[in-house]
Amino acid sequence: MILVTRGSFLTTSWKNQVQILESTANVIIIYGDSDSLLSLIVNIKQKLFTWKVWVLNSHWDVAKFDNYFLLDALHGSLIFSHHKEEIINFTDFIKTANPFKYPEDIYLHVLWHSFFNCSFLRKDCKIVDNCLPNASLEFLPGNIFDMAMSEESYNVYNAVYVVAHSLHEMMLNHIQFQTGGKGKEMVFFPWQLHPFLKNKQPFNHTGDQVVVNWKRKSHEEYDILNFWNFPKGLGLNVKVGSFSPNAPEGQKLSLSDHMIQWAMGLTEIPQSVCSVSCEPGFRKTHQQGNIACCFDCTPCPENDISNETDVDRCVTCPETHYANTKKNYCLQKRVTFLAYDDPLGKTLSFISLGFTSLTIVVFWVFLKHRDTPIVKANNRALSYTLLITLTLCFLCPLLFIGHPGKVTCILQQNTFGLLFTVALSTVLAKTLTVLIAFRVTTPGRMRRWLLTSRLPNFIIPICTLLQVVLSGVWLATSPPFIDKDVHSEHGHIIIICNKGSAVAFYCMLGYLGTQALGSYLMAFLSRNLPDTFNEAKFLAFSMLVFCSVWVSFLPVYHSTKGKVMVAMEVLSILASSTSLLVIIFAPKCYIILLRPERNSLHHIRDKT
């Protein structure tokens, strides 16, 4: 934009030329008064900026300076002109105006002399030279004399109109409040008119309100004119649009593109921007130290979109949607969960059912050989209890697979905690049985009572009762419920079971850990006892593996989300259950099925 003022146009004219020549802009805005722009007009003529589009203010009426235009240098210019209505009968007045009708108007003499070659005597306006008797201004071409009222004339008309109204009001006010005698001449000073002129805002004959206060000028409407420069200096300003600051947002500027004649050398609507438009999926980022129209296009952040060009900010997709790769619209997230038809769900289901079947086979082997020394020596009742519990533990992961429901969410953690409590308390009971058999130093009768009373077996219901109480408190205060995880996996809504109370969940794990640690310590103390089948060593090792599994589970569980988190808990259940089954029962099944000679009283006596 070039600002030209009366006091600076001579000194800045050359700078403006250089600025225009070096600029890559196709559109140049010039603001200033007509007198100050004359030198710039000459420069435009000399440099022939025919490929530029000029945007001018209404003070510069380009149609009146046709002598300066060479090769249509300003053809296609856009001019912002104050909107005005046509004054009634003004055109008829211009048609009939002539020096004979208004001899006191010296400007009409000049016009007739210039355009019709007429000369007049100053006193009686008698025609001296040949002159058309019916000469009229309407005969002149539009580029020489425009019959319509110009913007400058309209402003003068409004100024005279508002001054007349202000004078009238001032005189009425003086007559109403005067204290002098009647018939006294009224004398006014110019400054006395100012208050009336400032507050007066009458409506003229066209219906427009005349505003004198310059602070309210910003609310005026503008007509957008397009300058057409025809051969032989015939210029024409054509209205192609308007700007109304009081119109609704988005409708303030109205422009008819098809009516605009662009500058020479331009075959399409010119583009003059510092930065190219930001496509959908990007937002504008202002360049520091540069003008507002210079910006960078920055991709929208994750899960944000922009579906229009040149947006200042991106819009975040709802939680149920996610942004596509181009980030120009939101897609519906797919609802998912750890299903049976997923590869991970299938694998975990097969492992669960496989180890369940294996546990049932081991249980059948123990039932079939229940009268053999190795089964009797390992406390048949506790072994049966542990095998049945492990069977249910291997089936427990099936509660975690499939679409979560209200019942399955409640059963998942509570069933897992209850079954593992029974399993660990059974192992603890087996460990105490071995310890009592070989370590108790009480007299024989008391020792026999401890062995025959099966006192260690009461540990199972006691420990289980504590777990039932813990589960009851959990369900009463903050039970598990169905929840949606919308952040873990991109493009998916994962249906999961929320534990409700994380404190209750970790209390349950802590209780199981305490049982496992107690069983391990008891078994470790009994590892060197003279047990024929090394029961204490196997129990100690199984508890060591069990604790290792769950100690490894906690950090991995915290670092995963969604389906993977559920799968990690299922794997931990399967791994810990497998450690109990394989380490405790595999050696016994090996002896029963493959080394039956070692499963006899004769072999035990020889070894003893």
What's the distance, CA 268 to chain centroid?
35
Bridge partner residues of 30 (DSSP): 2, 56
- Number of helices (H), then strands (E), belonging to the chain: the values are 16, 16
In contact, 516 and 443? CB cutoff 8 Å? no
In sign, the C-alpha dihedral spanning 174, 179, 183, 186 is negative
pLDDT at 18 exceeding the cut of 60: yes
**What average pLDDT does range 93-115 have in this prediction?**
83
pLDDT at 199: 74
Q: What is the mean pLDDT of residues 312-317?
A: 92
Given a cut of 80, whether residue 185 has pLDDT beyond it is no
Mean pLDDT of the chain: 80
Which amino acid makes up residue 7? G
Specify the pLDDT at position 124.
52
CB of 135 within 8 A of CB of 116? Answer: yes
Instruction: Reply yes or no on whether the pLDDT at 66 is more than 70.
Output: no
Q: Which of 77-81, 269-273, 455-459 has the highest mean pLDDT?
A: 77-81
Strand segments (E) across 244-290: 253-255, 282-286
Q: What is the pLDDT of residue 187?
A: 73
For residue 48, pLDDT over 60 is answered with no
pLDDT at 429: 86
Tokens of residue 403, six digits: 């679409």
| CA contacts within 13 A on the Cβ side of 501 | 19
Give per-residue pLDDT as tens, 353-403: 999 999 999 999 999 988 888 787 777 888 899 999 999 999 999 999 989
What is the rounded distance in angstroms from the CA atom of residue 380 to the CA atom of residue 371? 9
All structural domains of the chain, each given as residue ranges with its CATH number in brackets, are: 2-83+220-259 (3.40.50.2300), 282-332 (no CATH), 343-607 (1.20.1070.10)
Instruction: Please give the share of the chain, as a percent, with pLDDT higher than 70.
Output: 78
Is 314's pLDDT higher than 60? yes
Range with the largest mean pLDDT of 106-115, 231-240, 300-309: 300-309
Query: 89, exposed or middle or buried, with CB in 10 Å at 0-12, 13-18, 19+?
Result: exposed
What is the pLDDT at residue 96? 86
**Where residue 290 falls among pLDDT bands split at 50, 70, 90?**
confident
User: What are the tens digits of pLDDT across the range 512-561?
Assistant: 888 888 888 887 776 665 555 567 788 888 888 988 888 888 888 888 88
| 558-588 pLDDT tens trace | 888 888 888 999 999 999 999 999 998 998 8
Q: How confident is the model at residue 175 (pLDDT cuts 50, 70, 90)?
A: confident
Radius of gyration of the chain (CA): 51
Q: What is the DSSP letter of 354?
A: H
478 touches 501 (CB < 8 A): yes
66-75, 314-323, 463-472, 526-535: the lowest-pLDDT one: 66-75
pLDDT band of 34, cuts 50, 70, 90: low
Q: Mean pLDDT over residues 193-216, rounded?
A: 72
pLDDT at 155: 80
What band does 280 get if pLDDT is binned at 50, 70 and 90? very high
pLDDT band per the 50, 70, 90 thresholds, residue 602: low
Does the pLDDT value for residue 69 go beyond 50?
no
Res. 68 pLDDT band, cuts 50 70 90: very low
pLDDT given at position 149: 78
pTM of the model: 0.58
pLDDT higher at 499 or 84:
499
